[in-house]
Chain A
Amino acid sequence: MAHYLRSLMLVLGLMAGVAHADETLVVASTTSTEQSGLFGWILPRFEQSTAIKVRVVAVGTGQALDIGRRGDADVLFVHDRAAEDKFVAEGYGSYRKDVMYNDFVFIGPKDDPAKIRNAGSALNALKAIAGSGQPFVSRGDKSGTHAAELRLWKDAGVDPKALAGYKETGSGMGPTLNMAAATSAYTLSDRATWYAFKNRRDLDLVLAGDPVLFNPYGVIPVNPARHPHVKKDAAERFAQWLVSPEGQAAIAAFRADGQQVFFPNAKP
């Protein structure tokens, strides 16, 4: 049976044209970094300077952490500080380093029926949405954005599940923005995905700038002690490159829709 399996896998490998000449690295990351175009901008620079080929699996932060926990990626690049610290504390990650941040922004209909443009703070904005009964779509997918949104509702003292207009899409930022556009609802997005998003229809950025909307991204190599097969050296070089002056400059130079959306903040 084992023999048969091995030859089957070999045939599959041949059919799929698996060729591992260059060193490759699997990065589990978030939809915001991929869909905003950041990876398309920084990875060619990393690959040129290290000759390591990077393969990005872009999913929500929750799923990315799970992929790392199972040992299916070599390094993670995600944004949910509390969950990241837990991941490292449980021994799945070697360490976590700050890389950059962007921020969350409130997106809503241009005419702003809940009047949150002048709410002054994120918590007031959520209270205004709850009070006005306007629809709000949530990621509902355990992503970093979803986790941040739930933290904000909690701090605002509102139970979103009790709101009639609250809907969970259970999907990525893009599909959630598509639904907000189709139903003239409010939502919380990361700034990068919003700038790169095309199907905006009636939506506009209605509130940003509150420090509680700060959204830090960290890099975590998967712990080789836990998963011996991970590409330890390549993962290490990826993490070190991101926080190096070269990597930080590449991140700072990236533009989505003409705007800087990621701000490097690695500690020297």
Chain B
Amino acid sequence: MTATLLDALALLGSFDHRLLEIVGLSLRVSLSALLIGTLLGLPLGAWLAVADFPGRGACNVALNALMGLPSVVVGVLVYLALSRSGPLGGYGLLFSPAAMIVAQSVLVVPLIAAVTRQIVEDAWREYAPEFSVIGIGRPQAVRLLLADCRFSLSVATLAGLGRAMSEVGAVMIVGGNIDGYTRVMTTAIALETSKGDLALSIALGIVLMSIILTLNVVAYGLRCWAARRYG
């Protein structure tokens, strides 16, 4: 164990441009999925928080359950959809970064929507009487609440980022782990482990964890800056 760790640390110095490509693709895929996930998840979650319709409770439970959607199941479903023999096969997206973005978006949307729903619903309960007094309707309330809860909601986004960056099951299946094209950090780690090169796996794992940490530091810095600037 210690020997493997030391080997891993020694390897960190010897990484080349191929590793940078893999890191770059990981970031491109996961940040794209996060962007899609945020654009769909935030409004969806906020709408569910203030909406009133029959079966709302069941809908919320289902959404919360989808946070635990296994990535490998999403991988198989997206694979079947994008396969040449599937309904969206005509676009030829299987085994491409675009397919990986689709799969990770499917994983991220329910997570962001469910966390957003809870945060906004709590705020809605608090402000609903005042909103009704000053005559603010639900569509406008959604916008106000999203703006008001922005700092809490950044956690929803970070959770989405973590989910996307860390999953391996979906991107392995829909991307195919093609060298120089669809190989990302997690699938590279899985490959090196299966080749028995545990030191390289750990080294890649250290790199991946550093990237996730860096992204979180940046998010934290932005939040502090925004809090000082805009209160």
Contacts and interface: CB of A to CB of B under 8 A. Distances in A.
B28 A229 contact: no
Contact of B96 (A18, A56, A178): A18
A9 B195 contact: no
B124 interface: no
Contact of B83 (A40, A70, A174, A198): A70
Given A55-B181, A57-B178, A72-B84, A12 B98 contact: yes
A34 B191 CA distance: 10
B193 interface: yes
Measured as residues with beta carbon below 8 angstroms from the partner, the interface class of chain A is 35 or more
Contact of A9 (B29, B91, B191, B197): B91
Interface in A6-36: 9, 12-13, 15-18, 26, 31, 34-35
B85 A71 contact: yes
A12 B104 CA distance: 12
- With most chain B CB atoms within 10 A of its CB, the pick from A40, A57, A177 is A57
A207 B214 CA distance: 50
Interface in A155-173: 171-173
B83 A35 contact: no
B98 A16 contact: yes
B84 A197 contact: no
A209 interface: no
A55 B193 contact: no
Interface string A194-209: 0011111000000000
A15 B85 contact: no
B197 A175 contact: no
A229 B84 contact: yes
B177 interface: yes
A5 B87 CA distance: 12
A58 B191 CA distance: 10
Given A12-B101, A229-B92, A35 B194 contact: yes
B48 to A, nearest CB: 22
Contacts of A198: 195-198
B107 interface: no
Contacts of B98: 9, 12-13, 15-16, 18
A94 B182 CA distance: 28
29 contacts: A9-B88, A9-B93, A9-B98, A12-B101, A12-B102, A13-B98, A15-B28, A16-B97, A17-B97, A55-B178, A55-B181, A56-B178, A57-B95, A59-B176, A70-B85, A72-B84, A72-B85, A174-B194, A174-B196, A177-B196, A178-B193, A197-B195, A197-B196, A198-B195, A198-B196, A198-B197, A199-B197, A199-B198, A200-B196
9 interchain residue pairs of minimum CB distance: A174-B194, A199-B196, A71-B84, A16-B97, A57-B176, A16-B98, A198-B196, A12-B98, A70-B85
